[in-house]
Amino acid sequence: MTYRGRFAPSPTGHLHFGSLVAAVGSWLCARHAGGQWLLRMEDIDPPREVAGSAASILAALPAFGVDPDVAPLFQSQRIAAYDAAFEQLRTAGRVFPCWCSRSELAAAGGIHRDGQCVAAADPDRLPAWRLHVPDIEVTFDDALLGPQRENLRESVGDFVIRRAEGFYSYQLACVVDDAFQGITDVVRGSDLLDSTARQIWLQRCLAVPTPRYLHLPLVLDAEGYKLSKSDQAYPVDPAAPLPALRQALAFLSVPVPMAAMEVPDLLAHALANFDPALLPQCSGHSVA
């Protein structure tokens, strides 16, 4: 199996330092393995989307020297594939319609389990659709963080794969597209570690392969909080990419030469010295 990695940003703002770390980290892993690196724009959540940010992220990446091997995939153009996956799940009895509101669920303990709705069916409103989650333990070996296990029924219960407004969830779209793009290795931030068991369960329901996973440390600020896209503390400027690129490499424990270097040489140096086994093994750390 050849290596196929990917970077899958959501267009909810300009490229920020946390995304740059995920982009550079996944690119280094793919290139180190002699594999391909793909790009997927996860633009299937219009309410969360910030106008212009998909274009701005795509325009920024080449300045940091990380160019995808094939044309980017846009999830907004993949709705027919999500419809087909949804139909497959529905035909197999894996999903059920649900009219429960957040507050009704919160009052009933917060987690939707065993297909048991608290709200009655309401023919005047469209339902959300949830995936049945049985009482099983999902296990996987994170390439960096080691063995992981999660009892999905306990931790998340039956989860939404299509919202009442008709939008498909990140979990469904991600699983369908990782399979469609032939992704063998998912390298992404640790904020998504707790999505992985859900994605593995969905892969089993859809009978598609499970890739390997590696979750990079999350970029935290000096107080230990996740850097958000709105955080201006660590700006990423494609017009002057070197400071952020050097900082992203240092964050990933990749040796950064003292000497001034342009982006292509800096990345070549990083790749020559890159060893995935030396990536920091923690769920998050602060920017140096």
Record the tokens describing residue 99, joined without a space. Answer: 């009219």
C-beta of 187: minimal distance to ligand GLU in Å?
A: 8
**Minimum gap (Å) between residue 234 Cβ and ligand GLU:** 17
**Which amino acid would we find at residue 170?**
Y
> For ligand GLU, what does the binding mask look like between residues 21 and 50, x meaning CB under 6 A?
---------------------x--------
Residue 84 CB, nearest distance to ligand GLU (Å)? Answer: 20
Q: Would residue 272 be called left, alpha or beta, if left means φ above 0 and alpha means ψ between -120 and 50 degrees?
A: alpha
Residues in the chain: 288
Stretch that binds ligand GLU, among 2-10, 57-65, 246-254, 271-279 (CB under 6 A): 2-10
185 counts as binding ligand GLU under rule CB under 6 A? no
Binding mask 187-226 toward ligand GLU (x if CB under 6 A, else -) reads: -x---x----------------------------------
Q: Which residues touch 157 (CB under 8 Å, ≥6 apart)?
A: 111, 112, 113, 133
Smallest distance, Å, CB 279 to ligand GLU? 16
**Residues paired with 215 in a beta bridge:** 188
Closer by beta carbon to ligand GLU, 49 or else 221:
49
Smaller CB separation from ligand GLU, 44 or 117: 44
Where are the alpha helices (H) located in 158-241, listed in sequence order?
170-180, 193-206
Closest CB to ligand GLU among 172 and 174?
Answer: 174
Total residues at the site for ligand GLU (CB under 6 A)? 7
Q: Does 8 bind ligand GLU (CB under 6 A)?
A: yes
Closest distance between ligand GLU and the C-beta of residue 162, in Å?
18
Q: Which value, in Å, is the radius of gyration of the alpha carbons in the chain?
A: 20
Q: Which residue matches tokens 């996956």?
A: 85
- The backbone region for 80, taken as left when phi is positive above 0, alpha when psi lies in -120 to 50, beta otherwise, is alpha
Tell whether residue 10 is a contact of ligand GLU (CB under 6 A): yes
Judged by CB, which is closer to ligand GLU: 119, or 143? Answer: 143
**3-class SS of residue 243:** helix
Residues 78-137 that bind ligand GLU (CB under 6 A): none
Strand, coil or helix: 79: helix
Q: Which stretch binds ligand GLU (CB under 6 A): 7-15, 66-74, 90-98, 154-162?
A: 7-15
Give the integer Cα–Cα distance in Å for 175 and 242: 34
Phi, psi of 265 (to 5 degrees): -70, -40
CB 178 within 8 A of CB 188: no
Among positions 163-182, residues that touch ligand GLU (CB under 6 A) are: 174
Nearest one of 46, 83, 37 to 176, comparing CA atoms:
83
Smallest distance from ligand GLU to CB 147, Å: 20
Name the amino acid, one letter, at 66.
V
Contact residues: ligand GLU, CB under 6 A: 8-10, 42, 174, 188, 192
